[in-house]
Amino acid sequence: MNPDSQPSTSRGRFSADQARNLIQRWIGDDSDSSEETSDCDLNLSSDEEEQPTLDLDRGADESSDGEVEPAPKRQCKGKGKGKSSTRPRSRSTQSSATATAKSRSTVSDPPATASARDNGGWSHIEHGGTANTIRFLPTKVPGVLPESGLDENSSALDCLSVLLDREVKQVIVTFINDYAEKRIAEKSGNFSPRSVFARWKKITVKEFDKFMAVLILIGLDRRPAISDYWSMSPEFCTAWYHSMFPRQRFQDIYHSMLHAGDKDAEGKDKIEPFMNLLLGKFRGAFYPFQELSIDEMVIGFKGRWQFKQFNASKPSKYHIKTFGLCDSSTGYVMNILTYFGANTSYDPEADADSGAAVKIFDTLLTCVDRGHKIYADRYYTTRALVDHLLKKRHHYTGTLMLNRKSFPPQLKNLSLQHRQMRWFLHENADVLCVAFRDKKAKNPVVLVSTDAQVDTTRVKDVDKPTVIHDYNSHMNGCDLLDQKVTYYPVFSRKSVKWWKKLFFWMMEITQVNAFILYTLTRTDAQKKIGLKKFKLMLVRQIVESLANSNNDNNNDNNDEARAPGRQPENNPMERIQGTRHIISYVKRDRNCVVCSKDGARKRTHFVCLGCSGAPHLHPKDCFQAYHNV
């Protein structure tokens, strides 16, 4: 039999000569060696080069040309000349040889270079931090601006009047009257004599002040329906509302004719120009401190509107979505962006191809200088936003979703023990990531910051990363505002018009901002007050201002008409409070304090016994006019 011939496949075995020839061919030895040695021809020691492993079970190996050759059996030469050993190698020897071959066949880069490439430039650190040098140098002094004219002697009404000044009120009054005229003209006289169109009279700035006073008190005094405030039931009756407005007149304004945009406005133009006007007043009275927070602020709304949002995790599942920029320490609102889908009014200078987060931040930050520290949640955190804010010379700190790109890949499989923390710094030293697992948390919280160091702060006997402590302290600006506006809200009342929700919400924000201005202008020695007391002060001061205005118009010019010894009113509020006003007849007539004027004096015998001084009043019209604002 030719030893070079292929073995018979029926038995699947090799002869000794065939095995010897195959081994010699495999190791490249062309000579037939007959020397007897005490060791095997194939040395499997780890000190020598590892040879390819033969599969003795299959009896075949892959040749260089792709053909399958029979696998030889190993032959050892010892004392028993001519005896062959068919015992295969041990399993441990095979695995060791295979592992060595794999390790030697793999060529890798140095560990540091490979790690930097594989982790996207991120590395774990134990000390150090970011190296960004951004200074906070605002053009205005943070706090209440001097041009607002507010100081420690300013009243609550003064603080509100800085934001809701006569210009804003005149704009609203114009919008309401123009809208009412349009609706009446559309009816072309085809309406009932008892309808709102027949009895409508133009609203004035003074009447709008009364309207605001009633709105503020309605927020403090919650009742099921608007008509309940004018109820004559003993359980509901409150004379103050009757003295401020007839029920029908208030409802005509509140339900029918209230408008905050041009009479022909559609879509976002129904409310956005008015909001921008009011936001400009906000920025003219206050400049924020270095820390700012940007977050989503929602207004509950279940009516029909194409941009209405749904989020089951929100307190109001169906809502109008807005984005707000607030001062972190006070909660003062600086800017608001309302979501209108593709029609959202982003900053025209913002890159149209950038992400939504970049456009939102560019729009909200147009009103502040460089150098601020911006805090936001994980909804906005992207690497594109972080880099964009660094170019705009702002710091950014926010939580992170682990599926966001260009952040440390080590975070995805990171496992931390309770109270354990890890720090990762980018190779450019511009962004720092920290992962921290609190005691009761199932998963670690991950934070990204461009202004942070590897440092800890002790909070309630627990060491936490300082950047996380700063985030918890400064992120609550918008949350603080949301909390305050929901204490005594008017915007929470049902409405079928979406823009009315935004209008009353902005009125509530105006009051909260005025409260913040009032608090900041108080000295430490002065007693701080709460929001409820501040609103009550607003109502009293608005009504007192209206009463003094009426008193100036009707009575100040009648001093000469008063009888000798007659004293002017000491309390202008008395005539519109819930006093028991009774009209009575007296023998001596005097000038009517309402309709009597110089050159046209009108005298009457009737007086009001409920008011101090018993002012003379005509019982038909003057009595009612005197006891209303």
Q: What confidence tier does 93 reach under pLDDT thresholds 50, 70, 90?
A: very low
**Dihedral over Cα of 251, 257, 260, 266: its sign:** positive
476/467: higher pLDDT: 467
Contact (CB, 8 A) for 516 and 364: no
Q: What confidence tier does 200 reach under pLDDT thresholds 50, 70, 90?
A: very high
53/314: higher pLDDT: 314
**Hey, is 379 helix, strand or coil?**
coil
Summarised one tens digit per residue, pLDDT across range 511-546 is 999 999 999 998 876 778 899 999 999 999 999 888
Contact (CB, 8 A) for 42 and 76: no
Summarised one tens digit per residue, pLDDT across range 379-406 is 999 999 999 999 999 999 999 998 898 8
Q: Among 361-375, 482-496, 583-597, which stretch is predicted with the lowest mean pLDDT?
A: 583-597
pLDDT of residue 314: 87
Neighbours of 467 (CB within 10 A): 26
DSSP 367: G
Residue given tokens 């009120």 in the structure block? 169
**Average pLDDT estimate for 157-177:** 95
Q: What confidence tier does 9 reach under pLDDT thresholds 50, 70, 90?
A: very low
pLDDT of residue 13: 65
Burial of 76 (0-12, 13-18, 19+ CB in 10 A): middle
pLDDT of residue 391: 93
pLDDT of residue 296: 92
Residue 548 has pLDDT above 90, yes or no: no
282/585: higher pLDDT: 282
Summarised one tens digit per residue, pLDDT across range 61-81 is 333 344 444 444 444 444 444
Closest CA to 345 of 366, 319, 327: 366
pLDDT of residue 118: 66
DSSP 604: E
First to last CA, the chain: 129
Share of the chain above pLDDT 90, in %: 49
Residue 625 has pLDDT above 70, yes or no: yes
Residue 24 has pLDDT above 50, yes or no: yes
Residue type, position 487, single letter: Y
Q: What confidence tier does 611 reach under pLDDT thresholds 50, 70, 90?
A: confident
Contact (CB, 8 A) for 277 and 315: no
**Average pLDDT estimate for 274-293:** 95
Contact (CB, 8 A) for 455 and 128: no
Closest CA to 11 of 75, 68, 52, 59: 59
The reported pTM is 0.72
pLDDT of residue 558: 42
**Hey, is 157 helix, strand or coil?**
helix
Q: What confidence tier does 375 reach under pLDDT thresholds 50, 70, 90?
A: very high
Contact (CB, 8 A) for 166 and 205: yes
Q: Among 11-25, 173-187, 271-285, which stretch is predicted with the lowest mean pLDDT?
A: 11-25
Rounded distance, CA 233 to CA 367, Å? 51
Contact (CB, 8 A) for 487 and 532: yes
Burial 88-104 (b: 16+ CB within 10 A, else e): eeeeeebeebeeeeeee
**Average pLDDT estimate for 487-502:** 92
pLDDT of residue 52: 41
Residue 461 has pLDDT above 70, yes or no: yes
Q: What is the mean pLDDT of the chain?
A: 80
Residue given tokens 């660094």 in the structure block? 390
Residue 90 has pLDDT above 50, yes or no: no
Residue 213 has pLDDT above 60, yes or no: yes
12/27: higher pLDDT: 27
Rounded distance, CA 348 to CA 334, Å? 19
Summarised one tens digit per residue, pLDDT across range 304-360 is 999 999 999 888 899 999 999 999 999 999 999 999 999 999 998 888 788 899 999
Residue 265 has pLDDT above 50, yes or no: yes
Rounded distance, CA 264 to CA 601, Å? 47
Q: Which span out of 28-32, 48-52, 135-139, 551-555 was modeled with the highest average pLDDT?
A: 135-139
Count how many residues are written for the chain.
629
Residue 573 has pLDDT above 70, yes or no: no
311/99: higher pLDDT: 311
